[in-house]
Structure 1
């Protein structure tokens, strides 16, 4: 490789204390953030853009910008002895990726150890390095990545729409109205027992007695939304379209059949089929009514919750289920729209990087 690159090292040992987000990027050892420690304006040697850095572990990166190096991290710079474009530089840097499998703390990489190594490069019919192939190969990979991101975006959108049973994320007139009226709407208090005709406590099942299976087993806590295990024990099964409230007041909507431990209460109504959106609204209202009231020293049991009241929107003194339904659908669509915009921005950023390197 000595006939392809010139190598050089830094002349000042930059420390973390020198990082001040000013001046030039500082390159150190490691893969995190592509080895970029931050920026510093400390007086130190500045290395040219369009060069390759290799650290003591063998991590190699192409640098299209000027930079400084942390010398104690044993980073060295390779400058090609020929003019290199960004894509060609990426291609060349990829040829050093195998070094990270050869070097480490016990055997640190250095230019002296690798300068006599050989690398394979594409050549044209005249036997010269085929820079045009390198350029087109990386361009093709970049185009494939953009296509992958666009495919992921479509898949994500379709998955969210399917999960929410929505055809699109455009708000209807009723949904827009619900959002605009939410803060100034009429509200009333309604006891849990007036909403649910079933308020039950789960059954104790010690961890050692749990048999592995497919039935979600809900216990107190917020990790994994309270699903502590999947069991096959012949134990009480609760219906989907239910709400669970644990002894600490953590509330979750369940759209699947499940079982629950004795530290969790279950709430549902089998005389009136509330929609998923209505149940989600109930769950949020219940969570608000319980916030900060229960803990290890004051545990909530379902039997103590019958007379607890939640605030719900009303119309002529009655619960306004239509408003609740429209409001939750609007919130779902806004969340989906945020996901779509995030994906679109990710694709846009990738395209911008690719186009700027043409």
Structure 2
């Protein structure tokens, strides 16, 4: 990259722009995770602007036709940007398309555009005219954009990341995605589980977390998770090095006190706010990752409707709260929880393994013909 020639290119000269504004409320569109579904793209600055899959036929019947893919998508009221390879539904976005755009240079260019989005906010909104006049820095060759370099760079980066993923799956023992008889049974029996209410404090020891202000840390200068109340990245804001006196023990359920974001934390961590709560399972023999992932979901489902930014949870309030848990003989059925989450993990990892294997096979075939 350090030997690349760079040039500034005005987006209005590179792309044809189009405003996409669908009339129907997003909530009215039915979710569809089958082959009849298409991605629904919103003005989100996370998850590549993806919201969920929606029914394509419903969009057509309601004159909300899917947008053809192979476009860069830009936010109207938020500084969001992504590349969308396949057709999609959308609300309140601007798209940029060109005949030379593809899934390699599209990713490169959208990443380059994202570096310019810092100048916008909800108060200072971007828009069609602004995007057309925006100049982006791109690899250049013979006075034009060097698309060949962009495509080769993304291809090499993808190959490198897929190899790292393959190594991680093997080292973590996640390559075996075959369900055991017990795991398949746990999936089949889930709808028949008996749930009962339990006081939170009868299941967990509850404590407030430490309190390290963001102004007192140096971001990404350490290996210990620094947690906040965000629903992104499992509540991990950064990785830091700090006084171990303020370190909280992991292997617990963590609740962002002001936002009620619930997560499982495997490692020891630092926290940004003493309003955050830490829940340690009293039954230490059952205090493992799988059980606590299940418990974190139960807490979220049981209590999420009660708490919000204006009415946040606290150590005092949670003392009276109850959560619904699967039971056997009137006691929490930790064995069912553990087996069920183990099965879910395998189902999720199965798709990842399939993706990695296909990508690696494709790259190796490609190398044979180079």
TM-score w.r.t. length of structure 2: 0.53
- SS in structure 2 at match of 1:168: coil
Instruction: State which of 234, 247, 263 in structure 2 corresponds to 1:252.
Output: 263
Contact 2:179 2:346 in 1 (8 A): yes
1:265 aligns to what?
277
1:72 aligns to what?
none
Contact 2:299 2:323 in 1 (8 A): yes
1:103–1:166 Cα change, 3 Å: closer
Contact 2:175 2:353 in 1 (8 A): no
Instruction: State which of 202, 206, 210 in structure 2 corresponds to 1:199.
Output: 206
1:341 aligns to what?
354
Structure whose alpha-carbon radius of gyration is higher: 1
Contact 1:191 1:308 in 2 (8 A): yes
Instruction: State which of 278, 283, 288 in structure 2 corresponds to 1:275.
Output: 288
Partners in 2 of 1:101 and 1:241 — Cα distance? 53
Q: CA deviation at 1:253?
A: 0.6
2:242 aligns to what?
232
Instruction: State which of 295, 301, 307 in structure 1 corresponds to 2:308.
Output: 295
Which runs of 5 or more structure 1 residues have no equivalent in the other structure?
1-13, 22-26, 37-98, 106-140
Q: CA deviation at 1:319?
A: 1.4
Contact 2:177 2:347 in 1 (8 A): yes
Instruction: State which of 307, 312, 316 in structure 1 corresponds to 2:320.
Output: 307
Contact 2:302 2:322 in 1 (8 A): yes
TM-score w.r.t. length of structure 1: 0.54
2:252 aligns to what?
242
Partners in 2 of 1:241 and 1:15 — Cα distance? 51
Q: RMSD across aligned C-alpha pairs, in angstroms?
A: 4.0
1:221 aligns to what?
230
1:29–1:318 Cα change, 3 Å: closer
- SS in structure 1 at match of 2:345: helix
Partners in 1 of 2:267 and 2:104 — Cα distance? 43
Counterpart check, 1:103 vs 2:143: yes
Instruction: State which of 212, 217, 228 in structure 2 corresponds to 1:210.
Output: 217
